Structure 1
Amino acid sequence: MAKKRVNLRAKGEVQKVGYRDFTQNVARKLGIVGYVGNMRDGTVLIVCEGEESSIEEFIKTIKVKKDFIDVEDVNIVETLDPTGEFEFFDIKYGSTEEELGDRMGAGILYMAATRDEVKQVGKKVECVKDEVKASRQDIKEVGQKVEGVSSDIRAMHTDLKEGFAETKEGLGRVDASISSMHTDMNVRFDTLDEKYGAISQQMNVLTTELQKSTNSLVSLTEKIGALIDEKLSK
């Protein structure tokens, strides 16, 4: 593959942003030799020698937008035969004052960017703190709901105990009434007419007690159903 020498001019935000260092790194990776240096008009001059394919790849790669580097264009100023005068790809530095200003300018830009990134991290930390607070509040509310459910269950248990107690009491009265009725029915037939009124009365009592027990069971069932519906709706 033939070699060639190309002089380039890079325009845009290419000074005081680390562009020369970037260009040097790319050139060394591609096996290109030459140099790069700042020009007084704000552009960057690049003189490079290497394989034609490497030069083409080099030009594409150094036309970049990265961090504070913003290359608007890379123009080929001149194409020549290689001289072989370069052994490495170097940076052509200016005076000490110029280089100090260049490095300080780049440092200020990166420090400002770092400060902004730190601010963003601080904002994210605040967001995380807010989310943690919200999570703690949610957990607290869940605990309160659990306590409420426990209280409702205790109340339901109390209602069940009372309902079953009433039912047991009513059934006891029914049993007593049946026993009394059985005794009355075993009396002599010659007193049947006399006892008929008593039997009828015992039957009425039995009917009343059964109705009370039924009403108690119905009421208890309705309370349990209402409580379950309330919990499901939450």
Structure 2
Amino acid sequence: MSENNENACAEMYVSGRVQGVYFRSFTQKVATGLGLVGYAQNLPDGRVRVIAQGKRSLILELLDNLRIGPELSNVEGIEVMWIDTYDELSEFVIKR
């Protein structure tokens, strides 16, 4: 499918044991390796919010990695929404 090579942006909410287990660092490392831009941010409710922008196929690859997560995590679910792209994103960062 050619649409997998089109630029896209996804907003993801990852639930489970995903805070205090290097989940944001893991996400940044994988996303940067895939050439994606965006951010990972802890939320007060215990989830991690991830914004990822780049080729749709690479975002889907990131999503596959997030489902596994780093060694100490336990991902219970991921809510994904495809959204409009952000112009101001230039790298993948960790937000506090």
Is the structural similarity TM-score above 0.5?
yes
Query: In the alignment, which residue of structure 2 is the partner of 1:54?
Result: 58
| 1:70 to partner: Cα distance | 1.1
The verdict on how the C-alpha distance between 1:45 and 1:54 changes in structure 2, with shifts beyond 3 A counting, is same
The verdict on how the C-alpha distance between 1:72 and 1:2 changes in structure 2, with shifts beyond 3 A counting, is same
For residue 46 of structure 1, give the secondary structure of its aligned residue in structure 2: strand
| Structure 2: segments with no counterpart, 5+ residues | none
| 1:84 to partner: Cα distance | 2.5
Rounded to whole Å, the distance in 2 between the matches of 1:11 and 1:56 is 18
Partner of residue 92 from structure 1, selected from 88, 91, 95: 95
| 1:36 to partner: Cα distance | 0.5
Partner of residue 82 from structure 2, selected from 79, 84, 93: 79
Higher helix share: 1
Checking the alignment, whether the CA contact within 8 Å between 2:14 and 2:48 is kept in structure 1 is: yes
RMSD over aligned CA atoms reads 1.2
Partner of residue 37 from structure 2, selected from 33, 56, 73: 33
Query: Residue type matched to 1:82 in 2?
Result: T
- Equivalences, count: 92
CA deviation string 1:147-166 (max 9, x = no partner): xxxxxxxxxxxxxxxxxxxx
| 1:65 to partner: Cα distance | 5.0
Rounded to whole Å, the distance in 2 between the matches of 1:40 and 1:92 is 13
The verdict on how the C-alpha distance between 1:16 and 1:58 changes in structure 2, with shifts beyond 3 A counting, is same
Query: Residue type matched to 2:27 in 1?
Result: T
- Runs of 4+ in structure 1 off by over 4 angstroms are none
Larger Rg: 1
Higher relative contact order (CA 8 A, sep 6+): 2
Percent sequence identity is: 33
CA deviation string 1:182-218 (max 9, x = no partner): xxxxxxxxxxxxxxxxxxxxxxxxxxxxxxxxxxxxx
Normalising by structure 2, what TM-score? 0.89
Higher strand share: 2
